[in-house]
Every structure is written in C-alpha cells, then in structure tokens.
C-alpha cells in the first residue's frame, strides 16, 4: 500500500480509500450489512486506513455500518474516518443545508452512528448557496476547536468557494469527482489544491462501475439504482463508454498483464496532486485487485494512449452533473425546508 498525509491528521492515509456510499443501502440496488462489515475489515487487512462515508448515504445507515465495523475490529486510532455534513433529508432525498444550526445538529448524530468521540476529516458534502461560506467555515472551525473534528474538508466546491472558506478556517482537503471519463477537476480544482497544499480525495474512480470491466450491453439495474438515470448508462452513450472500456481492458492486459480496474485506479493515482482515490467495494472479493494497483506507474506514453482511447471511443461525453442534490432557498411563509424543490 502507498500512503500519504493530510494536514491535521497524524495517521497516514492509504492512497486507496474505502468508499461506503453503496453500503448505505439506497441508490445502488440494495446491500447486506454483514457483507459490508466484512468488506471494511478486508480493506483494513489490506492496509487501507481511510474510510469515507456520509450521513446522506442511506440516511445515516452507511455511518452506522462503518461504526459497527470499527467497533467490532478495534484500533480506532489507526483508522482515518472521513465523513460529511450539509445535506438535510427531505422526503425521499436530500437538500443542501450548511447552516451553523444544521452542522451542529449533524455532527452529534454522526458521532453517535460512528461510535466515536471525534471525526478525523469532516467535509462539507456540497456547497450550499443559501448559506454564506463564511458561516459554514466558522461553524466547522468551532467544532475543530472543541475537539470534535481533527481536520476540515470540502467536496464539490469551486475554487472561489474554497478561497472564501479558508479565509475563516483552515482547509485540509477537497473531494472532487475524477476518473478516466470524468476529468474536469484536472483543469482547475486539482492544480489549485496542489498549489495551495490541500490534499485531494477523489471520488468515482471507477465511474459507477463502468471501469470494472464487468458491465455489458445487457446489464440491467434494478430498484432505486442511480445508474437507471445516469446519462452514461443510457443509449447511445452507454455503447460508447463500453467500447472505451473494452479497448482499455485490451491495453491493460497486453501492456501490464492486469485488468482495466487496476489500470483505472492507477490512472487516478498517477495524476499530479492526487492524494487518495476512493474505491466503493461492497464485497471483500472486490478488493482483490488492490494488490494490482500498487508498485508501478503509468508512463507518459501510456497516459497519452489512454487519453486517445477515451477521446476516440466516447464521441458524446457527459459529466457527473446528474448527481448534484437540489439547492436550498430561503423559505417562503408557510413553507417547510425545501418545499419549493
């Protein structure tokens, strides 16, 4: 395993982190808690030290699973727990709320679910345009000074938002999406983080499973699986992305004797300024390719070839914008939170 550091956190962070969105039991076609716990234990056995979760993943259920896994395993001080704040449940979904009141409410619930008295990395999940960034930053600074959190991070923030935020509170990390198919963050966010000393935890390294190499044209998604509405999984784009994955798989086998999954993770890790790539395994066996990610690097010629494969195969690309939750607006008389969305 490769390791890195995040400002304010003494425990080294593994460059592959365990993502737990799917362990929340919603939006990914269901999950099994016992299997999720075994997966987290398997990740720890492999040297993964960073577990990323959020209250929005299954309305707190993912945090409960992480808390159970760590309680059963022990060694809390050797694990970096990264969770998030700022998405308030509303109906069947969530809306953005990064107000001071909401943050102080959420942290107590997260600490209880995680069965811990501190959070290593507390990240604002999405920018809330109805709350001044300065209010959010001050609230997190107060929580840090109270010892409830070790370090402060943001997710899906713009450069302007991060600049305003860190005039009030120290910012240790940013979490943008990044994978072979969604690389907008390489143009601005990641270079800015690198220049300003922020760690980057990138999510979506396997692009909702596309880059596992296991999906086919007849793959079907059931229940509330978010891929049923993901534009990448709809025709005619889906065939384009599958064509790119097939070519990348052939390249990975021929050049490195590896699958496309470790190739995709290695691509993320080899981008300048990347600290951690989050990987959302749901079963212990899905972590087997971790060993194939470590101990090698992609050279410039390989990176250029992979770029050409994506550009030639995907003629109608689309980003991850569909995942953005609704914004909040000031309430009108007689309306409850988010009643306008």
* Cα–Cα distance measured from residue 21 to residue 13, given in angstroms and rounded to the nearest whole number: 19
Sign of torsion, CA 225 228 230 235? positive
100-114 and 133-145 helices, crossing angle to 10°: 40
**Residue 73, both tokens:** 């395993």
Q: Between vectors from CA 340 to CA 335 and to CA 341, what angle results, nearest 5°?
A: 140
Six-digit token string for 133: 């960034």
The residues with which 152 forms a beta bridge, in sequence order, are 122
Establish whether 57 is a catalytic residue. yes
Active-site residue, selected from the candidate residues 3, 57, 238, 241: 57
Residue 315 CA to residue 329 CA, distance in Å, equals 37
- Which residues are catalytic, by number? 57
């Amino acid at each position: 395993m490769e390791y890195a550091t995040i400002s304010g956190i003494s425990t080294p962070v593994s460059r592959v982190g365990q993502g737990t969105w799917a362990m929340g039991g919603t939006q990914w076609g269901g999950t099994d808690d016992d299997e999720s716990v075994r997966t987290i234990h398997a990740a720890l056995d492999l040297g993964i030290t960073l577990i990323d979760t959020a209250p929005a993943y299954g309305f707190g259920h993912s945090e409960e699973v992480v808390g159970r896994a760590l309680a059963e395993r022990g060694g809390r001080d050797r694990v970096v727990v990264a969770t998030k704040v700022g998405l308030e449940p509303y109906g069947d979904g969530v809306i953005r709320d990064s107000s001071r009141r909401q943050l102080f409410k959420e942290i107590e619930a997260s600490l209880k679910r995680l069965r811990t008295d501190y959070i290593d990395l507390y990240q604002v999940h999405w920018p809330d345009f109805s709350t001044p960034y300065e209010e959010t930053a001050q609230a997190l600074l107060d929580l840090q000074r109270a010892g409830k959190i070790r370090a402060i991070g943001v997710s899906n923030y713009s450069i302007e938002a991060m600049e305003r935020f860190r005039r009030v509170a120290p910012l240790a990390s940013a979490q943008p999406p990044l994978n072979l198919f969604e690389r907008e963050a390489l143009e601005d966010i990641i270079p800015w983080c690198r220049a300003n000393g922020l760690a980057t935890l990138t999510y979506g390294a396997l692009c909702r499973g596309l880059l596992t190499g296991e999906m086919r044209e007849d793959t079907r998604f059931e229940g509330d699986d978010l891929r049923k509405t993901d534009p990448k999984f709809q025709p005619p784009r889906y065939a384009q992305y599958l064509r790119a994955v097939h070519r990348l798989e052939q390249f990975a086998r021929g050049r490195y004797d590896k699958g496309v999954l470790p190739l995709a993770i290695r691509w993320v890790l080899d981008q300048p300024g990347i600290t951690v790539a989050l990987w959302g395994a749901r079963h212990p066996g899905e972590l087997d390719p971790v060993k194939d990610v470590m101990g090698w690097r992609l050279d410039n010629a390989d990176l250029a070839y992979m770029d050409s494969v994506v550009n030639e195969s995907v003629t109608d690309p689309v980003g991850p914008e569909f995942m953005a939750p609704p914004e909040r607006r000031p309430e009108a008389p007689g309306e409850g939170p988010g009643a306008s969305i």
